[in-house]
Amino acid sequence: MKLDGKAVIVTGGAGGIGRGISTACAAEGAGVLIVDLDQEAGDAAVREITEAVPGARVAFLAADIGAAGTAEAVRDAAVAEFGRIDVLVNNAHASRQAPLLEHTDEMFELSFGTGFFATYRLMRACHAHLAERGGSIVNFASGAGLNGQPNQASYAAAKEAIRGLSRVAAHEWARDGIRVNLVSPIARTAGVEAWSKTHAEQYERMLGTIPLGRLGDPREDIAPVVVFLACDDSRYMTGQTLMADGGTVMLR
């Protein structure tokens, strides 16, 4: 197994892509700490993973990653549960959409608080533990940031700030044995599913922009890319953004 005996933190791991990542990491032998706002979804995720993966080691911490002190609480919970931290997956990110002229400071605070600052604080809080055995950090980017998608100013800006931070950390922490990479996904989550029903035409247009012609599946299409970056298969890679988006953005 690719993550046998390792300990992985997944923020936003109770739902969407994060649940797929948590399941895949548990199936590869890792102990997984899911951190999420949603207690009910967290309990459901733990039940589902325990049933799906024989011998799974999975724990849940209800926390707002945008709040002060959460990064240290997450680190301490992972160490208390598994005695180590090998992989940090900064997946959760909340944001609101609006044209730039209608964007408010609160919208920027939400997106930077849960996206950029949560990622930055957790990376620093976990650094010493990740450095003990050569760890991996997987952060999340978005085509909305890479392409400057309309109505996504606060989200796109925070996502590109995360990419900048990740590249600096990839340089600085390589000597500590820590690799830092990003995944930029497109996936069918509950939110996207609901939107596809209420905005059928827009949804069809969006599908037309994906060369592979479909949305990714969190567990089958996105999680394996995260596992690849988390494990030694990618040991010669750092500072990279991997597009798990059906070919929508082709980076050069």
CA angle 177, 174, 4 (to 5 degrees): 35
> Binding mask 68-107 vs ligand NAD (x if CB under 6 A, - otherwise)?
-----------------------xxxx-------------
Q: Give the Cβ contact number of residue 232 at 10 Å.
A: 12
Q: How far is the CB of 130 from ligand NAD (least distance, A)?
A: 20
Q: Which residues ranging from 204 to 223 are in contact with ligand NAD (CB under 6 A)?
A: none
Q: Which residues contact 177 (CB under 8 A, 6 or more apart)?
A: 131, 133, 134, 135
Beta bridge pairs of residue 138: 89, 181
Interface pick for ligand NAD out of 6, 8, 10, 18 (rule CB under 6 A): 18
Q: How many CB atoms lie within 10 A of CB 124?
A: 13
Nearer to ligand NAD, 119 or 238 (CB): 119
List the 241-244 sheet strands across, edge first.
57-62, 31-36, 7-11, 87-90, 136-140, 179-185, 241-244
Please state the closest distance from residue 55 (CB atom) to ligand NAD, in A. 24
Separation between Cα atoms, residue 19 and residue 11, nearest integer Å: 10
Give the one residue of 130, 153, 178, 187 binding ligand NAD; rule: CB under 6 A.
187
- Taking CB under 6 A as the binding criterion, the range among 7-15, 79-87, 172-180, 203-211 that sits at the site for ligand NAD is 7-15
Does residue 155 carry a catalytic annotation?
Answer: yes
Q: How many residues bind ligand NAD (CB under 6 A)?
A: 27
- Residue 132: CB atoms within 10 A of its CB come to 12
CB of residue 68 vs ligand NAD: minimum separation in angstroms?
A: 12
HSE at residue 180, side-chain half, CA atoms within 13 A, is: 28
Is 181 a binding residue for ligand NAD by CB under 6 A? The answer is: no
> 112 vs 173, which CB is nearer to ligand NAD?
112
Q: Could you identify the residue written with the tokens 């999680």?
A: 223
The one among 191, 211, 213, 247 contacting ligand NAD by CB under 6 A: 191
Contacts with ligand NAD by CB under 6 A lie at 11-12, 14-18, 36-38, 41, 64-66, 91-94, 114, 140, 142, 185-187, 189, 191-192
Catalytic residues: 155
